C-alpha cells in the first residue's frame, strides 16, 4: 500500500481564523505498482463540524481499499470551540480535494469518471452539500478549477442533510453560528437543492438514531426520487449514531487514523491556554471539563493484574455486538453492488 498526505491549499489561500496552524489535507491509500485505473473513494469523517472521528476515516477507507478501490481520507476544516462559524470552508475543502484527485488521476491510477465520495454524519453534510452545490464553487486556482468537482456518486451514512426541523442543531451552529441568516440556513438544507444533475446517491441510516434523526435521509431520498436521480436508501432497525462499518474489528477497540484529529489537538492547546479565537467563557468551561478533567483510572483486579479476563470479556462482547449489527455491516457490500451497476 502506498500512503501519503497532500495539503489542499497554499498558505496564502487558506485564511480560516481558527485553524491554529492546521491545513486541510487528504491522506491516500493506494494500491502499489498498479497500472489499473481503479475506482476512487474520498472518505469524509463526521464529528458535528467540531472534530473529525477517526473510526469514520481510515477504518472504512481500508474496507473499500480491500474491495479494490484507491481511497483518500479528507481532513476538512472544523472548530471544537464553535466560536468561528465555518461557513463555506468545509465545502471549499472537499471541492478542491475532488479537483486535486482528478488532476492527479494518472499518478494515482484512478479513473477520473469513477470518483465516489462517502460521508458520515456531518461529513455526510459536507458530501451532500457538494452534491447539490458543486456548480456554485469556483476554485481560486485556474489550473485546478479546470477539473470538475462534481462527484460521480455519493454514499451518505447517517448524514446530516437538512437544516430544518430534523437537523442536528450543533452541526448547524458550528457551521453557521448561533444565529444564522435565514437564506444561508436554507442554502445548507440539502434536500431543497436537489436537481436532475445531482449525482446518484446511496443513503443509509438507523431508525433508532437519536442524534441525527432518520428523517434526514427520508427527506433527501424523496427529493432524489422527485428529480429522477438514481438512489438507494436503506434504513436498519437497530443501532444508534456513529456505527461506521459496524465490524468486529471496530467493536473490539480499533485504533488508527488519528491524523484526522490534528486540528482538534491544535485547538485544544489554545483552549487550555485560554487563547482560542472568540471563545466565550461558557464554551471554555465546557471544553475544559470535557477534555481536561482528570478521570479515575480505577484499580487493577488483584486476581487478574494483567487484565487477561477483561480482554477475553472484551473480545466476547465485541463478537456479540458485531453479530447484533451484522445487518448494518452489510451496507458496505450493498454500496459496492450499487455503484458497480453504473460506474
Residue given cell 436508501 in the structure block:
233
pLDDT for position 296: 58
Domain extent for 196: 2-261+327-340
All three cell numbers of 205, joined, read 441510516
Residue 250 lies in a domain: yes
Residue 267 lies in a domain: no
Please count the structural domains in the chain. 1
- Angstrom distance (rounded) from CA 144 to CA 139: 7
pLDDT for position 209: 98
Cβ count within 10 A of residue 289: 9
Residue 272 lies in a domain: no
Q: What are the C-alpha distances in Å from 9 to residues 53, 93, 186, 219?
A: 22, 8, 28, 34
Sign of CA dihedral 341, 101, 9, 4: positive
pLDDT for position 34: 78
What is the value of pTM for the model shown?
0.95
Residue 17 lies in a domain: yes
- Angstrom distance (rounded) from CA 168 to CA 216: 9
Residues in the chain with pLDDT values less than 70: 295-309
Residue 305 lies in a domain: no
pLDDT for position 299: 46
Residue 208 lies in a domain: yes
Residue 316 lies in a domain: no
Q: 240-274 burial, b if ≥16 CB within 10 A, otherwise e?
A: ebbbbbbbbebbbebeebeebbbbbeebbebbeee
- Angstrom distance (rounded) from CA 296 to CA 290: 14
pLDDT for position 265: 98
Residues forming beta bridges with residue 192, ordered by sequence position: none
Nearest to 156, CA basis, from 186, 192, 130, 195 = 130
For the packed helices 281-292 and 262-272, what is the interaxial angle rounded to 10 degrees?
110
Residue 226 lies in a domain: yes
Domain CATH for 336: 3.40.50.1820
Burial class (CB in 10 A: 0-12, 13-18, 19+), 115: buried
How confident is the model over 1-47, as pLDDT tens digits? 999 999 999 999 999 999 999 999 999 999 997 778 999 999 999 99
pLDDT for position 342: 87
Amino acid at each position: 500500500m502506498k500512503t501519503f498526505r497532500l495539503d489542499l491549499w497554499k498558505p496564502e489561500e487558506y485564511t480560516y481564523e481558527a485553524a491554529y496552524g492546521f491545513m486541510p489535507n487528504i491522506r491516500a491509500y493506494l494500491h502499489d505498482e498498479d497500472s489499473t485505473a481503479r475506482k476512487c473513494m474520498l472518505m469524509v469523517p463526521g464529528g458535528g463540524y467540531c472534530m473529525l472521528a477517526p473510526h469514520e476515516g481510515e477504518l472504512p477507507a481500508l474496507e473499500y481499499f480491500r474491495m479494490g478501490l484507491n481511497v483518500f481520507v479528507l481532513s476538512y476544516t472544523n472548530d471544537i470551540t464553535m466560536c468561528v462559524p465555518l461557513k463555506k470552508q468545509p465545502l471549499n475543502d472537499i471541492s478542491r480535494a475532488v479537483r486535486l484527485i482528478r488532476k492527479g488521476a494518472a499518478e494515482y491510477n484512478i479513473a477520473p469518471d469513477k470518483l465516489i465520495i462517502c460521508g458520515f454524519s456531518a461529513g455526510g453534510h459536507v458530501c451532500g452539500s457538494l452534491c447539490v452545490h458543486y456548480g456554485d464553487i469556483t476554485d481560486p486556482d485556474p489550473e485546478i478549477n479546470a477539473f470538475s468537482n462534481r462527484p460521480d456518486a455519493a454514499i451518505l451514512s447517517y448524514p446530516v442533510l437538512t437544516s430544518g426541523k430534523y437537523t442536528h442543531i450543533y452541526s448547524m451552529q458550528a457551521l453557521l453560528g448561533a444565529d444564522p441568516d435565514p437564506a444561508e440556513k436554507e442554502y445548507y438544507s440539502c434536500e431543497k437543492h436537489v436537481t436532475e444533475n445531482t449525482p446518484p446517491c446511496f443513503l443509509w441510516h438507523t431508525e433508532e438514531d437519536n442524534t441525527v434523526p432518520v428523517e434526514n435521509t427520508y427527506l433527501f431520498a424523496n427529493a432524489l426520487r422527485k428529480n429522477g436521480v438514481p438512489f438507494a436508501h436503506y434504513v436498519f432497525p437497530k443501532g444508534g449514531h456513529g456505527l461506521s462499518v459496524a465490524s468486529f474489528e471496530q467493536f473490539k477497540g480499533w485504533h488508527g487514523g488519528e491524523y484526522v484529529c490534528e486540528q482538534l489537538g491544535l485547538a485544544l492547546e489554545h483552549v487550555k491556554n485560554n487563547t482560542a479565537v472568540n471563545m466565550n467563557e461558557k464554551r471554555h468551561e465546557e471544553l475544559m471539563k470535557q477534555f481536561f478533567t482528570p478521570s479515575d483510572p480505577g484499580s487493577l483486579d488483584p486476581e487478574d493484574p494483567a487484565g487477561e479476563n477483561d480482554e477475553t470479556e472484551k473480545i466476547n462482547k465485541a463478537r456479540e455486538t458485531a453479530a447484533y449489527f451484522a445487518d448494518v455491516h452489510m451496507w458496505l457490500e450493498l454500496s459496492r453492488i450499487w455503484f458497480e451497476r453504473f460506474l
